[in-house]
Amino acid sequence: MAVGPYRAVVRAGEWLICSGQIGIVDGELEHGLDGQLRRAISNLEALLESEGASLADVAKTTVFLVDMDEFEEMNATYVSCFGEFRPARSAVAVAALPRGARVEIEAWAYQPVR
C-alpha cells in the first residue's frame, strides 16, 4: 500500500522492486514492533502476489528501524515470517518513518517473466 506519490511495486525486467512497507491496515498502524513488522511483511506479500510472486522469490530486503534496541525482537519476528528461507538483508537505523511507524521493510524479488 503506497502512502505517498509512488508505485508500491515496479517490475524491472525479471525483478520486482517493492517500496518500503509499514505495518498499516485500513489506515491504522498495528501495535508494537512485532505487530507492525508482521503486517508490513503481510503487505509486502500481497504486493508480490499481485505480480504473481511470493516471499520465496525475495532475494534482498532492507529493514528500517527507528530503535536499534529492537533489533533482536525484529530478528525473531522476521524469522517467524520468513521461516527457513533467508534472503540477503540489511537493517539500518533511521530517525523516523512515515506515519510514526517503528519499522519498515522493502524488498527486491527475482521472478523471471514467463
CATH number at residue 75: 3.30.1330.40
The span from the CA of 73 to the CA of 86, in Å, is: 17
Is residue 102 in some structural domain? yes
Is residue 79 in some structural domain? yes
Which pLDDT belongs to residue 5? 81
Is residue 28 in some structural domain? yes
Is residue 5 in some structural domain? no
pLDDT by residue, tens only, the chain of 114 residues: 556 788 999 999 999 999 999 999 999 999 999 999 999 999 999 999 999 999 999 999 999 999 999 999 999 999 999 999 999 999 999 999 999 999 999 999 999 876
Is residue 65 in some structural domain? yes
Is residue 21 in some structural domain? yes
Which pLDDT belongs to residue 114? 67
In 3D, which of 39, 57, 74, 63 has the Cα closest to residue 111? 57
Which pLDDT belongs to residue 7? 92
Which pLDDT belongs to residue 58? 98
What is the domain count for the chain? 1
Range of 78's domain? 10-110
Is residue 93 in some structural domain? yes
| Length of the chain as a residue count | 114
Which pLDDT belongs to residue 6? 84
Tell me the Cα Rg of the chain.
13
Is residue 4 in some structural domain? no
Where does residue 94 fall: left (phi above 0), alpha (psi -120 to 50 degrees), or beta otherwise? Answer: beta
Contact 80, 86 (CB under 8 A): no
